[in-house]
Structure 1
């Protein structure tokens, strides 16, 4: 078997694994309502497979450096969410999603210009979430209409994530860890939610899903920081495992806290 054929086969397999993650997460999210759906959306559905496959191809130093670039990108993602949520109250998908993605690209381009430390990346997240979470709070509680899933919803999301994984894996060798870390954190799940839900249920309900995801996204940023530190100390396998555990524990804590508040208010 030639080297090119082997690369293509392994790339397709990796894309299939990433797609399987998305299909599973999508089914769970759709059956669990907007709050749980938002928490599922902030799990590392796309970034997780990307980093796992990067770890198979590169050493721990590459993953640790990529995580430093990913950390401030997480701050850019919550800004994307805020812009979409605000615009979606009055505007259609093209304006709301287009403006949000455009701002994310601009912020990612600025982030790429700097060499980031862990402290600087955490500071960016602290500022971004400190501003965005209070502003998003008023948009979280919206009556959700019934969402009828169409046959192409899950395949569409799966294809987007699989394509992102393919881009990250196939270009990592020549773009380096910084750009790989930025691309790996493109908010593909958020974007797919906008594209699928906005035309179907309207802007405000779709915005409510993203607004509910803000606290989960904060935990995702913590997971990236944990991944960087753990990869440096213990290697890629343990570092990625610690990052996943951080996301899961954080989101379970958010779910438990929300359930407790609802019961107390009942």
Structure 2
């Protein structure tokens, strides 16, 4: 419980501050790191053992496909003039539909890894083709209230607590599929859409698509190694794989980028 109440909000708060400092695309890329699903996997391993966590990691790996579908659906709706509530609803519907399909497949690790890699690569191509035009009439980013980051931290922590509590009833595979919901990316995307328009929001979501290679690498390594190596070494190898993937995708980020909304009074 101490880990659940401390690790998750600390990670979310740090990512929020970093994304405000370096802009929309970098902000999206940063939130691709498994800030919620990673801690969920750790808590599942501690509570239910390495075998349960290994099965859940396969679901979390496939859950990155659902995150990509969320990004595409949100960007597609926003690029066609939909307001942020409709775009958010479209993204959530895409995530739920993808999760439902993947839940029926029950893929093992190797085909799940291949399906995830191909899906992320295809999503990046589609996102670049369907990017909305530049916003008009926007000059400066809106200012967010002081409670913005604490609210994000609270919501993310509540999500982790709820999912880990429901994990025994849901089972490892479905728990894994649901845990990667892009909660933080959705919050940032909505604020960006409201304050800057569809194009900056789409830029953030394209950055998130690049960032999804890190959790994909994390969960491939975790699922393959946590049982033979144990919880500690398994997670250490998974973190190393995620950092390597994040370093490679950093070179693919576009130069500059729209600033994310800054905190205000």
Q: Return the TM-score normalized by structure 1.
A: 0.85
Q: Is the 8 A contact 2:217 2:245 kept in 1?
A: no
SS at match of 1:23: helix
Deviations 1:68-103 (A, max 9, x none): 112221112111111111211221111111011012
Structure 1 position 216 matched with structure 2 position 211: yes
Q: Deviations over 1:8-65 (max 9, x none)?
A: xx2x761343112111110111111123212211111111221122222111100100
Instruction: Name 2:121's counterpart in structure 1.
Output: 130
SS of the residue corresponding to residue 86 of structure 2 reads helix
How far does residue 176 in structure 1 lie from its aligned partner after superposition? 1.7
Runs of 4+ aligned residues of structure 1 deviating over 3 Å after TM superposition are: 140-145, 256-259
**8 Å contact from structure 2 (residues 12, 152) kept in 1:** yes
CA RMSD of aligned residues (A): 2.3
What SS does the corresponding residue of 1:197 show, helix, strand or coil? helix
Aligned residues: 251
Q: Aligned match of 1:76 in 62, 66, 70?
A: 66
Structure 1 gap segments, 5+ residues each: 1-9
State the alpha-carbon separation in 2 of the partners of residues 214 and 140 from structure 1: 16
- Give the match's secondary structure for 1:113: helix
**8 A contact 1:140–1:211 mirrored in 2:** no
Contact 1:87 1:96 in 2 (8 A): yes
Q: 1:117 to 1:240 in 2, by over 3 A?
A: same
Deviations 1:159-192 (A, max 9, x none): 2211111112211222221122122211111221
* Aligned ranges 1:112-127 → 2 under 5 Å: 112-127=103-118
How much has 1:123 moved relative to structure 2?
2.9
Taking CA–CA contacts closer than 8 Å with sequence separation of 6 or more, which of the two structures ends up with the larger relative contact order? 2
1:201 aligns with 2:191: no
